[in-house]
Structure 1
Amino acid sequence: MKCLIIDAVHESISAELGKFMQVDTKMLPTQEELKALIPEYEVLIMRVDPKINKEILDAAKNLKVIGVCSVGLNHIDMDYAKEKGIQVFNAPGLNANAVAELTISKMLDLSRDTMTANNDVKVKHEWDKYKFVGRELRGRTLGVMGFGRIGRRVAELGRAFGMTIVAYDPFLKAEDFEKENATGMTVEELLKASDYVSIHVPLTPETKDLISAKQIAFMKDDCIVLNMSRGGIVNEKDMYEALQANKIGGYASDVMENELAGGGLTAGAGFASPLFECDKFIVSPHIGAQTVDASRDIGQHIIGKVKEALSL
């Protein structure tokens, strides 16, 4: 039996599964590369790249299990995998605290302009404390779009800072929000009320461009938007234009629509975006779940699911 790992995952996965099978690693293969590799493997361990389409699943003649070390499954043709008898396991909730803490971190960075201040001191060698006048989270309204595990944890941390929580989730009832000391709202109501909008919804045809020029027009001019979910949920062209026109207070993201356009983790990877010109835009390379704690917990979960599926 053989296992193929195609992304950076916790070392325990290779160590534990290696007791039962041969484990090989090929970091972020293209779809064509994976299609050529996959026929000899029974287990595939991955995160979100590349997209697992019908062609790859057809080539995977021996594949029994796909272990996804993340939450979203929109990159896998789930219906076809089920048709082929391939079990797919993800790790819902196990990165919730890691992503929530990163969200709060970026919220604070934009509120206090710490990234620019750091650059002024370290790069420009300027020491001007009067240049930076920030604002506190206390007393502000935090709008959470998507009130699942991550969204609820963000809300919990926001409350610790003295924030008022409003939330949108089409799958929840009013009492579900009330249990979490939040007020349920429509998208438009939330955008109008919030000083901060934090996005925690999956990327689907319904959520594509969920935040675009039309929605930005509802927001306060100093509203800060945070996207720790998926690139494509925020229309980056519209966000760039809003930032340039000072129609929004800032945009913090851990994801971008074309984040792997330059090759992802491959050597020399790079890409450009007009958003990079904006002082009120801060970004990280999809590190939401990249903590030793979340990686360990996800690894143990996926190990258990694979062993259970294969009766190891």
Structure 2
Amino acid sequence: MKCLIIDVVSPAIAEELGKYMEVDTKILPTQEELAGMIGDYEVLIMRVDPAINKTILDAAKKLKVIGVCSVGLNHVDMDTAKANGVQVFNAPGLNGNAVAELTISKMLDMSRHTIPACNDVKINKNWDKYKFVGRELRGKTLGVLGFGRIGQRVGELARAFLMDVVAYDPYLPAEVFEQQHAKSMTIEEVLKVSDFVTIHMPLTPETKDLFNAKSIAGMKDDAVVLNMARGGIVNEKDMYEALKAGKIGGYASDVMENELAGGGLTEDAGFDSPLFECDNFIVSPHLGAQTSDASRDIGAHIINKVKEALDLK
């Protein structure tokens, strides 16, 4: 039996599964490369790249289990996986605190201009505190789009800063909002009243380009959008135009629409976007779950799921 690991995950996965099978590693192969090699493996361990399409799954003649060390499954052709008898396991909730803390971090960075201030000191050799007058989170309204595990944790942390929390999630009963001290609203209402709006929704046809010129126009001019979910939820062209025109206060993201365009993380590939011109845009390279704590917890979960699925004792 053989296992293929195609992303940087907890080393405990290779160590434990290596007791039962041969474990190979190929970090972020292309779809074509993966299709060419997957036929030899019963287990695939991955995160979100590359997308697992029908071509890959049809080439995976021996594949029994895909362990996804992240939350979303929109990158896996679940219909074909089911038809081919491949079990797919993800790790819901186990990176929730890591993503929530990153969201709060970016709120503070945007509010206090810490990144441009740091650059002004280190790069420009300036020491001018008067250029960076910020605002506090206290008393501001945080709008949460997608009030699941991550969204609720963000709300909990925000309340510690004495923020008011409003949220949109059509799949939750009213008592959850009450328990979390959040007011349930429509998307339009959330956008209208919020000083900060944080996205914690999956990328679906319904959420694709949810933030566009029209929806941004319904927000406060100094509002900040935070996106720790998926890049495609924000129309980056419209966001760029809004930032340049002063129609919105800022955009802080951990994701972008074409994160792996032109080679992504491999072979020193470059990455660029018109958004990089905007001073009120900050970004990190999809590191929401990149903590040793989350990696440990996710690794243990995936190990248990794979062993259970394959009846490994």
* TM-score scaled by length of structure 1: 0.99
Could you tell me how far apart the structure 1 residues matched to 2:264 and 2:296 are? 23
Could you tell me how far apart the structure 2 residues matched to 1:175 and 1:242 are? 36
Tell whether the 8 Å contact from 1:144 to 1:151 is kept in structure 2 after alignment: yes
Residue 266 of structure 1 corresponds to which residue in structure 2?
266
Tell whether the 8 Å contact from 1:4 to 1:25 is kept in structure 2 after alignment: yes
Q: Secondary structure at the match of 2:144?
A: strand
Question: Do residues 241 (structure 1) and 253 (structure 2) align?
Answer: no
Q: Secondary structure at the match of 1:262?
A: helix
Matches within 5 A, 1:206-245: 206-245=206-245
Could you tell me how far apart the structure 1 residues matched to 2:133 and 2:222 are? 14
Could you tell me how far apart the structure 2 residues matched to 1:262 and 1:10 are? 27
Residue 287 of structure 2 corresponds to which residue in structure 1?
287
Residue 308 of structure 2 corresponds to which residue in structure 1?
308
Q: Secondary structure at the match of 2:230?
A: coil
Question: Do residues 137 (structure 1) and 137 (structure 2) align?
Answer: yes
Report deviation, 1:231: 0.9
Tell whether the 8 Å contact from 1:174 to 1:183 is kept in structure 2 after alignment: no
* Counterpart amino acid of residue 223 in structure 1: A
Residue 149 of structure 1 corresponds to which residue in structure 2?
149
Residue 162 of structure 1 corresponds to which residue in structure 2?
162
Residue 107 of structure 1 corresponds to which residue in structure 2?
107
Could you tell me how far apart the structure 1 residues matched to 2:287 and 2:12 are? 19
Question: Do residues 28 (structure 1) and 43 (structure 2) align?
Answer: no
Could you tell me how far apart the structure 1 residues matched to 2:182 and 2:296 are? 31
Q: Secondary structure at the match of 1:35?
A: helix
- RMSD (Å) for aligned C-alpha atoms: 0.6
* Counterpart amino acid of residue 15 in structure 1: E
Tell whether the 8 Å contact from 1:49 to 1:75 is kept in structure 2 after alignment: yes
Aligned length: 312
Question: Do residues 251 (structure 1) and 235 (structure 2) align?
Answer: no
Could you tell me how far apart the structure 2 residues matched to 1:238 and 1:138 are? 29
Q: Which runs of 5+ in 2 are unaligned?
A: none
Q: Secondary structure at the match of 2:3?
A: strand
Report deviation, 1:176: 2.0
Could you tell me how far apart the structure 1 residues matched to 2:135 and 2:289 are? 27
Tell whether the 8 Å contact from 1:69 to 1:90 is kept in structure 2 after alignment: yes
1:95-148: per-residue Cα shift (whole Å, max 9, x none)? 000000000000000000000000000000000011110000000000000000
Residue 82 of structure 1 corresponds to which residue in structure 2?
82
Tell whether the 8 Å contact from 1:197 to 1:226 is kept in structure 2 after alignment: yes
Tell whether the 8 Å contact from 2:142 to 2:158 is kept in structure 1 after alignment: yes
Could you tell me how far apart the structure 1 residues matched to 2:205 and 2:174 are? 25
Could you tell me how far apart the structure 2 residues matched to 1:122 and 1:195 are? 30
Could you tell me how far apart the structure 2 residues matched to 1:192 and 1:65 are? 44
Report deviation, 1:173: 2.7
Report deviation, 1:268: 1.3
* Counterpart amino acid of residue 261 in structure 2: A
Report deviation, 1:175: 2.4
Tell whether the 8 Å contact from 1:196 to 1:224 is kept in structure 2 after alignment: yes
Tell whether the 8 Å contact from 2:264 to 2:271 is kept in structure 1 after alignment: no
Report deviation, 1:264: 2.0
> Is the deviation greater in 263-272 or in 245-254?
263-272
Structure 1 residue runs of 4 or more that deviate by more than 6 Å after TM superposition: none
Report deviation, 1:263: 1.5
* Counterpart amino acid of residue 161 in structure 1: F
Matches within 5 A, 1:59-70: 59-70=59-70
Report deviation, 1:178: 1.1
Report deviation, 1:301: 0.3
Question: Do residues 91 (structure 1) and 91 (structure 2) align?
Answer: yes
Identity of aligned residues (%): 77
Residue 73 of structure 1 corresponds to which residue in structure 2?
73
Could you tell me how far apart the structure 1 residues matched to 2:77 and 2:232 are? 19
1:212-249: per-residue Cα shift (whole Å, max 9, x none)? 11110110000000000001000000000000001111
Could you tell me how far apart the structure 1 residues matched to 2:175 and 2:209 are? 28
Report deviation, 1:172: 1.5
Q: Which runs of 5+ in 1 are unaligned?
A: none
Report deviation, 1:275: 0.2
